[in-house]
Amino acid sequence: TSTSKGTVTNQTKETWKNLQDKTTEFTRKRRRSVDIQKARDKKDKFITKLKEKIDIQEDDIPNWMKIPKWVKSAYVELFCGAVLLFFTLIEFNNRNSLFVSGNWEISQTQYVIEWITLLLLMFIIIIYILTTLTNFLKDRFYYLQLFMVSLLFFKLLTEFVNIMVHGLLLSIFITPILLIMLIAIVVAFVMKLREPSKY
């Protein structure tokens, strides 16, 4: 009798555990789907507001400015990413050469901050390029790519505002390079916002 009671108790515990696991899994999936839906809604709302403010019709764009149909948006985004990476590598190499040469003092902490900032920026650009490529080839990492291009856009825009307000003191890029990078990221950012979500 005690054995049968123990068996029933074990079965009850096992059934209860399975039920708890299923409930937890269901809750987790539901929460994840809700979070994704919230992200989609926010992104759609942001794009709608942006389109309302910047209402450019097809007829407003001259023919010479229109992108040929054979040029896919991913190609342009990858090119913009390559431009960003190229100039960031140049600036990073300049700071790196300074460290290797030893012609700097501990008191010059600005160089250390710039070196770290450029390193982080380089990683973000590489992730952006990889997610752009993956999204184009396999339709994956759409939101990660959107996040990365947004991050780069606001970072470079902040750099540009710093130059306009404070001069070159607070910027890690010189003005001509920053302007080229800003144009590249604006193009990539706008193209990403115009791209319809596949999810």
Extents of the domains making up the chain: 2-56, 67-194
Spatial distance between the Cα atoms of 193 and 191, rounded to a whole number of angstroms: 5
Residue 4 has what pLDDT? 54
Structure-token pair, residue 14: 């096992």
- Phi-psi region for residue 61, left (φ > 0), alpha (ψ -120 to 50) or beta? beta
pTM value? 0.61
CB 143 within 8 A of CB 39: yes
Residue 108 has what pLDDT? 64
Helix (H, G, I), strand (E, B) or coil at 60: helix
Residue 177 has what pLDDT? 85
More reliable by pLDDT, 120 or 167: 120
Spatial distance between the Cα atoms of 136 and 122, rounded to a whole number of angstroms: 21
CB 182 within 8 A of CB 160: yes
pLDDT score of 90 more than 80: yes
Q: What is the mean pLDDT of residues 164-178?
A: 74
Cα 163 to Cα 3, 95, 167, 171, 175, distances in angstroms: 80, 19, 4, 6, 7
Please state which of the ranges 15-19, 62-66, 154-158 shows the lowest mean pLDDT.
Answer: 62-66
